[in-house]
Amino acid sequence: MLVGTAGVLYSLYSIVIHQNQYRQSAEKLDGLRKIYQESSLNPGQLESEKQHDQKLKNHEELQDLNEDYVGWIDVLGTTISYPIVMGEDNEYYLKHNYYRERDFVGSIFMDYRNSRDKLDKNTIIYGHNMKDDSMFGSLEDLLDQEFFEKHQTITLNYPDGQTYKWELFSAYATTDVEWMRTDFSKQADFARYLRSVKNKSVILSETEVGEEVTILTLSTCTDRDNDERIVVHAKLIRGKS
């Protein structure tokens, strides 16, 4: 009986600690979001010169906090609105937050093989699938056709003030790693890659994707299989690649 009681108390303690970690991580991210949103525009609003200068200043402030900052991502209509960092590998920011502190929530980070200052044919961004839907926890919702149709726009804002808009065209869960390719030596290779990720999609999309496109890939883990990943792809529709 004592052993059972001790087990219950330990479980409750673990839950409290876990919730406190979630809260602390959320507060730190909210602070970063406040810096970024000072210059955010409403949908359809034209950017003035003053707002553009303020946006650059806010990006500089975020870079001062972490020199690994490479931009900000927003997925319209979801909880995804985060700074993006890039480390020297794809491991560090799995367990470190924006302030480079140990944190099980980690960070939203770009694949270290991608370029910091220009778009590759396939730019990949990773994030944890958190139980409270933070980070990339809401990516799994895009596997639902109805949800997908209402949330197809992704925005990337870079520190130089450039804004890139993307339109989703594929979403699926997979255990293979073909989607992780960032370099394509031949156009034919990229064309085959596009056909493959389009065919894997569990949602129907009317978005046309030709081999001349530039794409963005978002990925997170699942709780069903250690090797399974939820992957979504989007094509660039505004901004210069």
Exposure class string for 123-134: b at 16+ Cβ within 10 A, else e: bbbbbbbbeeeb
Strand 163-174 and strand 229-238: the pairing is antiparallel
Tell me which of 215, 221, 231, 236 is the catalytic residue.
221
Give me the phi and psi of 4, to 5 degrees please: -65, -45
Give me the phi and psi of 153, to 5 degrees please: -110, 130
Around 63, how many Cα atoms within 13 Å sit in the side-chain half-sphere?
Answer: 12
3-state secondary structure of 94: helix
> Which of these, 228, 179, 219, lies nearest to 199 by C-alpha position?
179
**What is the distance between the alpha carbons of residues 177 and 59, in angstroms, rounded to a whole number?**
33
| 201 tagged catalytic | no
Q: Which residues are catalytic?
A: 221
